[in-house]
Structure formats: C-alpha cells, structure tokens
Amino acid sequence: MADDDAKPVRRGLGGEKKPTINDVARLAGVSKKTVSRVINQSPFVKADTREKINAIIAEIGFSPDPQARGLAFRRSFLIGLVYDNSNPQYVVNMQLGMLDAMRGSGYELVVHPCNRGNPTFLADFRRFIERQKLSGVVLTPSVSEDDRVKTILEEIGCAYIRIASVPVDEPEHIIVSNDRMGGRAAARHLAELGHKTIGFISGPGTFRSSHERRGGFEEELKERGLKLPDSHIVQGAYTFDSGVSCGAELLKCDPRPTAIFAANDEMAAGVLHAIRRAGLNCPGDVSVVGFDDFQIASSVWPPLTTVRTPTREIGRMAAEKLIGMSDDDTEDQPREAAPATSPALVVRDSTGPAPR
C-alpha cells in the first residue's frame, strides 16, 4: 500500500486528510523548516522560494495550527555575543564586525559578559539563552573552548558559532583564528633582527590562544636554532597591569632579554612601561612585540610592532554564518572547511636590531 504522504494533496477534495506542513514541504521540494520560516515571515528565505511555497499553501488550502506556529516561532530575531575576555577592545571590535553583518537584516545584537570561573557560570549561560530566545549565539575565547557550553546549546536547539584558535567543532560551527601562525610570525621577526635572548609573556592558561601563540613562537625559534628557556617565560593575564609586572620580572633575568614577546597588546604596552621604569630604552635596549593590533598598539610610545588579528572581520564572518543558517536553501550543501583568518605581522617602532 502506498504511503499516504506520497499522495498529492488537493484543495477541496472530500474525504482527503487535512493538508499538513509536510505536504507543503514535499510539493515545494524544500524542508519543513523552510516552510516554517515562510509561515513565520522570516527575512532569510529567497524570494522565489517564498513565492513558490505561498502558492502551494494557497492551492492546497493549508492552514497552520496556531499553537504549532507559536512553537515554531519560539526564537526571536536576536543574536547573542558571549564573552569572558577582559580586553575591552576585543569585545568592541567583535561587536562592530557582527553589526556590520547584521545591518539591514532585521536581527539585533545582545551582549552577555560572563566569568567561566563563577560556580553559576553554566546555569547563568543557560538562563540567558532561554530567556532571550536567541536565534543564534557567537562564542568567543575562552567560552568557545568549553564543550559544556556547546552541549547546552545543542540541548536547547540554539544555533551557534565558536571562535577559536584551532578547530574545536564541525566546520559549520567554527571560525579559526590561527593564533599559532601569529606566534611564528613574531618569532621570525625577532630572529631576523638578530635577537637570541628572548623573553615571553603568555596569557592565562585557561585560554587556548595562550598555548597556541606560545607554541608557534617556540616552534619558529627552534627551527632557527634558538631556545626559549623556562626562566624567560612568565604568565600574564592579558591585562596592562600584568604586562607591567611580568615585564619587570623578565628584565631582572640574567642574561636580560634583548626582546620580549607579549601574547597580547595590553601586556606589551605594560612591558613598555616596565622598560621605562627600569631606565631602559625601547627598542635600543629591549625590543617588544605584541599581539592583536588593537588601538592601544598605535597609541603607545613607541608604537608597537604586533601581530594583527582581524577581530572585526571575524565578528562579521561569525554573524554572517549564523544568519546564513536561517536560509534553508543551503541546508543540503556539502560541508566546506571551517573558515579561517590569517594573522599578519605589523612592524612599527618597538622593534629593532639586537644590541651588540
């Protein structure tokens, strides 16, 4: 016996079953989710697909159940940005990039700062997602590196994009920042300037970016016959104050480093302060390299040589991916590799040849 769902449904045929959303989807050759979006007037369905579905709805007399429609439209046109990053410029750049993508889309941005060290972190995160009824959420490091957050989003059924320095998820859910590549660029630059005694200030151990930036830096130095001794490695907190204290500690090392690579610009700016406080000169006595190329890098003196990460572009890409998840014409497309960005070294006045 042929399955009832295989029979064409026509309007006004006595005895026929009431048309369903599955009938509309089958006759239109689209997914049920696409039909649901047309019913709920989502702006992210192509015009020709919308017209086709509306025509079939009219032809077969489909009338959505109000209660079912309410369930289908349980999401708002809100996209969330979740961060536990202490660097305000990172957050601002990420917001600007997401707003670039969302302009004219009908979506709005909701920002949620958090603290992964808080005992109520996961419960607070779940409440935020459920209370706002988000269409999707962008997760930045180090929240993005926490698989418990991913599990919550999958349980709720909320779309998400994770921004991370390495692939930590399926390609459709990740944007890779390639921090290791940036660490290598910093080491290459200092080695080519003749520096052999080099100090390094890492970020917090809870951030994968800290490990990736250090890993790339050490790999490049090793390939050039140089070593980063444990005595010349200190851990910072991605803050200016930690850069000052860590810089002062490195300057007391024997031998004193002729160059210091700090894993973000805030800490690198702190190192410049420590150098001046010690009565030394940058770059004459000590060269300094930062990471990110945020506004502070070109505002301090001397302006920082740094590794530029396109944070605003990453934010735009993340929001575009989330919005694209609302277009069902892409549902059956083959998977592509996770989008990635490439850090690039920006040379300014804080680096120079190793002193003789």
Residues 6+ apart with CB under 8 A from 128: 80, 82, 112
Q: What is the pLDDT of residue 107?
A: 87
Q: What is the pLDDT of residue 179?
A: 94
Q: Which two tokens stand for residue 246?
A: 């860590």
The answer, as to whether pTM is greater than 0.95, is no
HSE-up of residue 4 (Cα within 13 Å, Cβ side): 7
Residues 6+ apart with CB under 8 A from 6: none
pLDDT tens-digit profile, the chain (356 residues): 444 444 444 444 344 678 888 888 899 998 877 887 677 666 557 888 888 998 998 888 888 665 444 444 445 789 999 998 767 889 999 999 999 999 887 889 999 999 888 999 999 999 999 898 888 999 999 899 899 999 999 988 899 999 998 888 888 899 999 999 999 999 999 999 999 999 999 999 888 899 999 999 999 999 999 999 999 999 999 999 999 999 999 999 999 999 999 999 999 999 999 999 999 999 999 999 999 999 999 999 999 999 999 999 999 999 999 887 754 444 444 445 566 788 999 999 999 999 98
Beta strands 259-262 and 287-292, pairing class = parallel
Q: What is the pLDDT of residue 75?
A: 54
Q: What is the pLDDT of residue 65?
A: 61
Q: What is the pLDDT of residue 228?
A: 94
Residues 6+ apart with CB under 8 A from 281: 275
Specify whether the CB–CB gap between 163 and 138 falls below 8 A. Answer: yes
Q: What is the pLDDT of residue 335?
A: 47
Q: Which two tokens stand for residue 10?
A: 């026509």
pLDDT tens per residue, range 52-93 = 998 998 888 888 665 444 444 445 789 999 998 767 889 999
Type of residue numbered 119: P
Q: What is the pLDDT of residue 156?
A: 86
Contacts of range 226-230, beta carbons closer than 8 Å, 24 or more positions apart: 226/187, 226/191, 226/196, 226/198, 228/198, 228/200
Q: What is the pLDDT of residue 69?
A: 46
